[in-house]
Amino acid sequence: RIEGTQGDGAIDAALNATVDAGLKPGLLTMQGEKRSHAGDRSRYIRTRDYVLTEWARDRSRFLTCEACLENYAGEEESAYVSEVYSYLHQNGCINVGILKNDPLVPIPAGVFGATQGGSGEDAVIPDESIQGALYALMGKINMDETSEKAIREMLALHFGSPMDSKPRKKLIKRLISEYIECGGPPPSWKDARLKGKASQYAKIVVVGAGPAGLMAGLHLKRHGCDVTVLEARDRVGGRIHSYTGDVDGSEKMGAACDLGASIITGRAVDGRKGLRADPSALLCEQLGLRLHDLNTKSLPIYDGRKEGGSSTGQRQGPRAVDEELDSMAQTVMNELMDRAAAYCEKLPVEEQEMVSFGTLVDRAKDNWEAETAEKVRRKMARGERVSVRISLRVGDDGGVKVDLSLDVTMEDGSFDSYSSDDDVPSEMLPKTLDAELERLLHWNWANLEYGCSAPIKSLSAPHWNEDEDFGGFGGPHSFVIGGYDQPFRQIAKHLNVRMGMRVSEIEVDNDRSKNGVTVVTEANEELACDAVLVTVPLGVLKRQAISFTPDLPQWKKESIDRLGFGKLDKVFLEFEDAFWDDSVDFFGAAKGTNEGDRGLCFMFWNIHRFSGKPILAALISGQAAHINEVTPEEQLKDVALDTLRSVFRDMVVPSPVAYHVTRWGADVDTGGSYSFVAVGASMNDYEMLARPVGKRIFFAGEHTCQEHPDTVGGAMLTGLREASRILEMDARADAPDHDANLASRMRSASANGAYREEAMDGDRETLKRKPDDVDMLGAVLPRDLADRVARDSRGEEARIMNREVAKGMWKALMAAESGDTSFILDSVRFADENNQQAGIIGPLLEAGAATLVQVFKDSECLLILAGWVDEMFDNPSRAHDMLLLLKAFDIPDWNAIGRSKARDRLQLVVAKVGQQHEDGAVKIAAKRVIQKIQNLDIFSDDDFIVSPVQKRAASRVAPKIDDETQRKLDEAEAELRAMQAEAERLRSQVDTHVTAAAVDDESPAFGTFEEYRDSLRAKRKKPRTKAARVISASGSAVPIGDAQTAAASQDGRSARETFRRRVDGCIAEALKPHYDARKISKETYKTILKKSSTKIMAKTTDKDINDWSRFVRSRRGMIKKLVDGYVAISKR
Q: Which residues pair with 587 in a beta bridge?
A: 604
Pairing relationship of beta strands 658-661 and 615-620 according to DSSP bridges: unpaired
Element (H, E) at 415: strand 415-418
Q: What's the pLDDT at 126? A: 64
Q: What's the pLDDT at 384? A: 53
End-to-end Cα distance, the chain: 52
For 905, other C-beta atoms within 10 Å of its C-beta total 20
Pairing relationship of beta strands 503-508 and 547-549 according to DSSP bridges: parallel
Instruction: Kindly state the percentage of the chain with pLDDT values over 70.
Output: 69
Q: What's the pLDDT at 171? A: 82
Ramachandran region, residue 482 (left: φ > 0; alpha: ψ -120 to 50; beta: rest): left
3-state secondary structure 241-295: CEECCCCCCCCCCCCCEECCCCEECCCCCECCCCECCCHHHHHHHHHCCCEEECC
Q: What's the pLDDT at 48? A: 93
Q: Name which of 134, 4, 126, 159 is nearest 70 in CA terms.
A: 4
Ramachandran region, residue 95 (left: φ > 0; alpha: ψ -120 to 50; beta: rest): left
Q: What's the pLDDT at 1079? A: 80
Q: For residues 365 and 1021, give the distance between their C-alpha atoms in angstroms, rounded to a whole number.
A: 18
Q: What's the pLDDT at 1075? A: 80
Residue 589 has phi, psi (to 5 degrees) of: -130, 105
pLDDT digit string (tens) for 284-317?
999 999 999 998 888 899 988 776 443 334 445 6
Q: What's the pLDDT at 1054? A: 63
Q: What's the pLDDT at 809? A: 66
Q: For residues 766 and 917, give the distance between their C-alpha atoms in angstroms, rounded to a whole number.
A: 28
Q: Are 81 and 69 in contact (CB under 8 A)?
A: yes
The dihedral through the CA atoms of 880, 884, 889, 890 has a sign that is positive
Q: Are 224 and 129 in contact (CB under 8 A)?
A: no
Q: For residues 114 and 103, give the distance between their C-alpha atoms in angstroms, rounded to a whole number.
A: 15
pLDDT digit string (tens) for 446-503?
999 999 999 999 999 999 988 888 889 999 999 999 999 999 999 999 899 999 999 9
Question: What is the distance, to the nearest Å, from the Cα of residue 515 to the centroid of all Cα atoms in its chain?
Answer: 34
Residue 9 has phi, psi (to 5 degrees) of: -60, -40
Q: How confident is the model at residue 119 (pLDDT cuts 50, 70, 90)?
A: very low
Q: What's the pLDDT at 558? A: 94
Q: For residues 552 and 545, give the distance between their C-alpha atoms in angstroms, rounded to a whole number.
A: 13
Q: Is the pLDDT score of 269 beyond 80?
A: yes
Q: Are 716 and 280 in contact (CB under 8 A)?
A: yes
Q: Whats the size of the chain, residue-wise? A: 1132
Q: What's the pLDDT at 40? A: 84
Q: How confident is the model at residue 573 (pLDDT cuts 50, 70, 90)?
A: very high
Helix (H, G, I), strand (E, B) or coil at 139: coil
pLDDT digit string (tens) for 819-828?
666 777 777 7
Q: Is the pLDDT score of 873 beyond 70?
A: yes
Q: For residues 666 and 539, give the distance between their C-alpha atoms in angstroms, rounded to a whole number.
A: 10
DSSP summary character for residue 125? -
Ramachandran region, residue 7 (left: φ > 0; alpha: ψ -120 to 50; beta: rest): left
Beta-carbon contacts of residue 61 (< 8 Å; ≥ 6 apart) = 99, 100, 101
Is the bond into 550 cis (omega within 30 degrees of 0)? yes
Q: Which residues pair with 586 in a beta bridge?
A: 605
502 or 192, which is more confident? 502
Amino acid at 615: I
Q: What's the pLDDT at 681? A: 94
Q: Are 775 and 781 in contact (CB under 8 A)?
A: yes
DSSP summary character for residue 576? S
Q: For residues 888 and 416, give the distance between their C-alpha atoms in angstroms, rounded to a whole number.
A: 61
Q: Are 235 and 224 in contact (CB under 8 A)?
A: no
Q: What's the pLDDT at 779? A: 30
1041 or 240, which is more confident? 240
Q: How confident is the model at residue 39 (pLDDT cuts 50, 70, 90)?
A: confident
**Number of helical (H) and strand (E) elements in the chain, helices listed first:** 42, 25
H-state helical runs in 567-628: 608-611, 622-627
417 or 637, which is more confident? 637
Mean pLDDT of 1093-1111: 81
Q: Is the pLDDT score of 958 beyond 70?
A: no
Q: Is the pLDDT score of 13 beyond 90?
A: no
127 or 232, which is more confident? 232
pLDDT digit string (tens) for 1059-1072?
888 888 888 888 88
Q: For residues 1124 and 1132, give the distance between their C-alpha atoms in angstroms, rounded to a whole number.
A: 13
Q: How confident is the model at residue 1014 (pLDDT cuts 50, 70, 90)?
A: very low
Q: What's the pLDDT at 680? A: 93
Mean pLDDT of 614-636: 92
CA angle 867, 869, 874 (to 5 degrees): 100
For 465, other C-beta atoms within 10 Å of its C-beta total 22
Q: How confident is the model at residue 436 (pLDDT cuts 50, 70, 90)?
A: confident
Element (H, E) at 129: helix 127-138
Q: Name which of 541, 517, 542, 520 is nearest 530 in CA terms.
A: 517
Residue 814, burial from CB neighbour count under 10 angstroms (0-12, 13-18, 19+): buried
The dihedral through the CA atoms of 576, 581, 583, 588 has a sign that is negative
Element (H, E) at 618: strand 615-620
Q: Is the pLDDT score of 906 beyond 80?
A: yes
Amino acid at 324: E
Q: Are 133 and 185 in contact (CB under 8 A)?
A: no
Q: What's the pLDDT at 9? A: 67
DSSP per-residue codes, 811-831? HHHHHHHTT--HHHHHHHHT-
pTM above 0.75, yes or no: no
636 or 917, which is more confident? 636
Q: Are 317 and 520 in contact (CB under 8 A)?
A: no
Q: How confident is the model at residue 1015 (pLDDT cuts 50, 70, 90)?
A: very low
**Of the listed ranges 463-472, 691-700, 763-772, the one predicted with least confidence:** 763-772
Q: Are 597 and 439 in contact (CB under 8 A)?
A: no
Q: What's the pLDDT at 1119? A: 86
Beta-carbon contacts of residue 94 (< 8 Å; ≥ 6 apart) = 21, 51, 52, 55, 63, 85, 88
Largest CA distance in the chain: 123
Q: Are 320 and 303 in contact (CB under 8 A)?
A: yes
CA distances from 970 to 460, 715, 959, 963, 984 (A): 36, 53, 14, 10, 21
119 or 1116, which is more confident? 1116
Q: Which residues pair with 548 in a beta bridge?
A: 506
Q: What's the pLDDT at 1087? A: 82
Helix (H, G, I), strand (E, B) or coil at 59: coil
Residue 389, burial from CB neighbour count under 10 angstroms (0-12, 13-18, 19+): exposed
Q: Is the pLDDT score of 393 beyond 50?
A: no
Q: Are 859 and 901 in contact (CB under 8 A)?
A: yes
Q: For residues 407 and 419, give the distance between their C-alpha atoms in angstroms, rounded to a whole number.
A: 9
Average pLDDT, the chain: 75
Mean pLDDT of 105-128: 51
Q: What's the pLDDT at 803? A: 59
